[in-house]
A and B are shown apart, each in its own frame.
Chain A
Amino acid sequence: MKIGVYVCECGSNIASTVDVEDLVEQAKEFPYVEVSRVYKYVCSDPGQVLIKQDIEEKQLDRIVVAACSPRMHEPTFRAVLEDMGLNPYVLEIVNIREQVSWVHDDKSKGTAKAASLLKGAVLRASLMHPLERKKVGVTHNALVIGGGIAGIQASLDLADMGFDTTLVEKSATIGGKMSQLDKTFPTLDCSQCILSPKMVDVNRHPNIDLLALSEVVEVDGYVGNFKVKIKKNPSYVLADKCTLCDDCVPVCPVIEHDEYNQGFSPRRAIYIPYPQAVPASYLIDPNSCLGIDPLICSKCKDVCGPEAIDFDMKPEIIEKEVGAIIVATGYEPYPIENIGEYGYGTIPDVISGLDFERIVSASGPTDGTIRRPSDGKIPKTVVFVHCAGSRDPSKHLPYCSKVCCMYATKHALQYKHLVHDGTAINFFIDIRTAGKDYEEFYQRAAEEDQVIYIRGKVSEVFQDGDKILVKGADTLTGETVELHADLVVLATGLMPSAGTKEIASLLNLSVGMNGFIREAHPKLKPVDTAISGVFVAGTATGPKDIPDAVSSASGAASRAAGILAQDELEIEGTVAQVDEDLCRGCGLCAEACPYSAIEINAINKYGHALRVAFVNEALCKGCGSCAAACLNGAINQLGYTDSQILALIGALGEE
């Protein structure tokens, strides 16, 4: 066995705290070390050439690199080994940058620590065996969870590339939050007008299977080969028979608040969410309908000409096999009733941003005239409160919700366009207009349309006669401000939707402190997740405006296509291996496995009736939990065997 040791200076990153020359000299004394060298940047092309030459000339068969974290350059050096005909798994990387030079000041202690880490690595390398990468096939279908603008875009992109795509949406129609918006900043084009063509495309596309009123309930499998169970909830209306004649609605005796209009208008228990809804079909709200178990009323069924209503419809489970999953489960507005001082929920004329979108919308409850909820009067003074729930680390959301400055400015502008003699006042902490043409939009609102901006927070809001008394501070003049408004609009912050949280726990996706799904890398892998084959789009990873949500969706679609376009995928060789002679079938390993990769079979590989553990290598991530849990020492983690780990520990324990 001949081991080559390569110590990297990483410019001065490592060399300033670790005496690399000394390290190289010490390494020469370690067992099996044939050659030990230092180089300024081992990851550079000349550095790689150096290793390649040594492998060829000195017939090295194990390589140890002491440099940065293996997260950075493990693939680089593995490729070097493969180029020279070596197995990529006989490489060991010692992290003497993040774990030594960057965290220590004392050069002699740093060098000593690096030396013992390096010795451990050399001893471990001497025990390494070549490992095999297995190959698995790929199902060329995709699943997109969530039918908002991000999910729609991702589905259309994948479908256009020719992949069969299943789009699962929890509610009765796709379109998401964007369908509730009236106009979009900074161009003030109508939200529904740019969204509905895409919704129609989804419905028409031959490669898209749209499942509305559906939820993903179970996901099994691994990259390229996911098995998904989807629960399709009953709509109680047969979509293929329903002719959208609307005869059923007037006869329905049940009146409910209309979710699409934020509760400002009524709907019946049988309804269509809104005229442009996709799939275009009526549905029955099972919570309020009097016809579903027990059958008290069947008025809609009686008048339905095409006999499209079926009270006996039951939920069904649909199973799909897909190669990649895109999570686009979106956001929900922060529950602003939690902000007691703003009185939302107790003062009728304090409304949320989404409420205002419906009130200003031509298809909304007031037909596009701005009226306040309490008495229907046209408000003459409107206060817009920015950061309602956002940027408040002690009580509410700690982060900036990114879109509120712009949408509150847009609301003020829309109000001024509709009520010319009205006054629009924005209370803001900072105006954040980072986006193309956003600053110009804000300037236009403040200068051309005389929207008033006051820098400061609103401290309290309360009903005073038929007006609302707004108290706040103007932090530029240092004065307190008290004014009477007719309507107060809270620019509500964004938080992860309930669906985002559910899907994250279903798929084992890691989430950040605020509950948004964590990207594989916040800058360089913004649409990947820690689980290979699962991608994320739109506001599931954090607040985004429409252009950002759409571009992240297209990004996620193209990343998913990178997997779907392949015929087979290589899986890592570092998997768990069961010694069936030692295994007693107790099942502790199966319980310890976070990826459900271990099953206890009642029969061993020779066909004997013995309970033993069986590892699904495609599912195994090589985490080692099972090997640690096994009482008999029957599981070995390939690449990290017990003897290798003990060799490492032995070296670290030496003085």
Chain B
Amino acid sequence: MVQYSYFPGCNLKTNAKGFEETAIAVSKKINAELVEMPIWNCCGTVHTLTSDNIMKRIAPIRVLSRSKKHIETLKESPNQVVTLCSMCNSTLRIVNNEVRKNQDTLDKINYQLEEDEEVYETDMEVKHFLEILRDSVGYEKISEKVVNPLEGLKISPYYGCMLLHPEEAKIDDEEMPDVLESLVESLGAELVMSPLFKFCCGSYHIVDQEYIVSSQVEKIVEAAKRRGANALVVACPLCAYNIDQQQKAMAKNTVRKSPIPVFYFTQLMAIAMGEPVKINHFKDHFINPEPLLKDLGLIGRKKTK
């Protein structure tokens, strides 16, 4: 069993519990176990990187240095820290690249880390779990583990911004990505391509100018629905929250009365691999996916051998 040092980040412990629990469950099945770091702190968040301030880089570097220590306790672990949240992934990667290019910045940060008895030596790679699935595990191995093919689910992948941008932190081609597409197909679901796969979800505007988010979400969801999708798959907790929550508001306030559920990619994997339903935490979703899954006979069936 290969073990990976896993950095959760804030969302995975609050509104995206289903994302984390399903990820850990499926990671064991595919021989790429995610083991949570014993001590971790905030990734630093994406928006702090807009200021040229070394203080804002300390948090991500501390994560990387702690992850390095964590690896020593793991089995067959490569020098990689794995994230689930695409924003954490982007932040850690960008800062990792920055200190690799600039020894001076790294020295200053390491000086700050001294009192925690930490030091970072730029020898860690930041990986999104999707990259592990694509590059280290492989889709063939994933489809081998599928016991409950997702027949009937017509899934449109939605990448949002952080998986594909900026250039130095992207995990796939920014115009023609296929990591989520291939994953969806390997789980036996039908793939629905929508042109708005990376159209901004509205992001942080959810806290101050909600109308921006609702108009973005409407376009994203309608584009997918018009092409026949009955669910979306995402990798970012903020995208998931925005699309999920806004659809519920829309169903209440507008003529758009037929929302579609939003899945994290690991939830789809968990269902396809026959993991217990409760680890999905579907009750946290605004649009409950369970009726759709039951209609399609993907959950709630007695297992026949």
Residue numbers of A with Cβ under 8 A of B are 339-341, 343, 394, 460, 462-463, 469
Assembled-state Cα–Cα distance A591/B95 (Å):
49
Contact B173 A463 (CB under 8 A): no
Question: Which of B167, B173, B174, B195 has most A Cβ within 10 Å?
Answer: B195
Contact A340 B195 (CB under 8 A): no
Assembled-state Cα–Cα distance A504/B33 (Å):
52
Assembled-state Cα–Cα distance A460/B167 (Å):
18
Min CB–CB distance B170 → chain A (angstroms):
12
Is B207 in the interface zone, CB < 8 Å from A? no
Min CB–CB distance B226 → chain A (angstroms):
8
Q: Which of A340, A343, A462, A469 contacts B173 (CB 8 A)?
A: A340
Assembled-state Cα–Cα distance A469/B175 (Å):
17
Per DSSP, chain B at the interface is: loop
Min CB–CB distance A550 → chain B (angstroms):
38
Contact B173 A460 (CB under 8 A): no
Residue numbers of B with Cβ under 8 A of A are 167, 173-176, 195-196
Q: Which residues of B contact A460 (CB under 8 A)?
A: 195
Q: Which of B167, B175, B195 contacts A339 (CB 8 A)?
A: B175
13 chain-A/chain-B pairs, Cβ below 8 angstroms: A339-B175, A340-B173, A340-B174, A340-B175, A340-B176, A341-B175, A343-B195, A394-B167, A460-B195, A462-B195, A462-B196, A463-B195, A469-B195
Min CB–CB distance B174 → chain A (angstroms):
8
Q: Which residues of A contact B173 (CB under 8 A)?
A: 340
Q: Which residues of A contact B195 (CB under 8 A)?
A: 343, 460, 462-463, 469
Assembled-state Cα–Cα distance A394/B195 (Å):
23
Q: Which residues of B contact A462 (CB under 8 A)?
A: 195-196
4 further contact pairs, Cβ within 8 A, besides A339-B175, A462-B196, A469-B195: A340-B173, A340-B175, A341-B175, A460-B195
Assembled-state Cα–Cα distance A340/B178 (Å):
12
Residue on A nearest B174 in the bound complex, by CB: A340
Min CB–CB distance A350 → chain B (angstroms):
12
Assembled-state Cα–Cα distance A460/B195 (Å):
9
Assembled-state Cα–Cα distance A233/B175 (Å):
40
Q: Which residues of B contact A341 (CB under 8 A)?
A: 175
Residue on A nearest B195 in the bound complex, by CB: A462
Residue on B nearest A395 in the bound complex, by CB: B175
Min CB–CB distance B9 → chain A (angstroms):
29
Assembled-state Cα–Cα distance A352/B196 (Å):
23
Assembled-state Cα–Cα distance A341/B195 (Å):
9
Assembled-state Cα–Cα distance A463/B227 (Å):
10
Q: Which residues of A contact B167 (CB under 8 A)?
A: 394
Q: Which residues of B contact A394 (CB under 8 A)?
A: 167
Residue on B nearest A462 in the bound complex, by CB: B195
Residue on A nearest B194 in the bound complex, by CB: A462
Assembled-state Cα–Cα distance A463/B223 (Å):
10
Min CB–CB distance A463 → chain B (angstroms):
7
Q: Which residues of B contact A340 (CB under 8 A)?
A: 173-176
Q: Which residues of A contact B174 (CB under 8 A)?
A: 340
Min CB–CB distance B24 → chain A (angstroms):
34
Assembled-state Cα–Cα distance A463/B167 (Å):
26
Residue on A nearest B227 in the bound complex, by CB: A463
Min CB–CB distance B158 → chain A (angstroms):
15
Assembled-state Cα–Cα distance A341/B173 (Å):
11
Residue on B nearest A337 in the bound complex, by CB: B176
Assembled-state Cα–Cα distance A394/B170 (Å):
15
Q: Which residues of B contact A463 (CB under 8 A)?
A: 195
Min CB–CB distance B194 → chain A (angstroms):
9
Assembled-state Cα–Cα distance A261/B266 (Å):
47
Question: Which of B173, B174, B176, B196 has most A Cβ within 10 Å?
Answer: B176
Residue on B nearest A347 in the bound complex, by CB: B195
Q: Which residues of A contact B175 (CB under 8 A)?
A: 339-341
Assembled-state Cα–Cα distance A210/B173 (Å):
46
Per CB-CB distance, the 3 closest pairs between chain A and chain B, nearest first, are: A340-B175, A462-B195, A340-B176
Residue on B nearest A469 in the bound complex, by CB: B195
Residue on A nearest B175 in the bound complex, by CB: A340
Residue on A nearest B193 in the bound complex, by CB: A346
Q: Which residues of A contact B176 (CB under 8 A)?
A: 340
Residue on A nearest B176 in the bound complex, by CB: A340
Residue on A nearest B167 in the bound complex, by CB: A394
Assembled-state Cα–Cα distance A462/B197 (Å):
11
Assembled-state Cα–Cα distance A341/B176 (Å):
8
Assembled-state Cα–Cα distance A648/B139 (Å):
65
Assembled-state Cα–Cα distance A341/B167 (Å):
16
Assembled-state Cα–Cα distance A469/B176 (Å):
18
Residue on A nearest B173 in the bound complex, by CB: A340
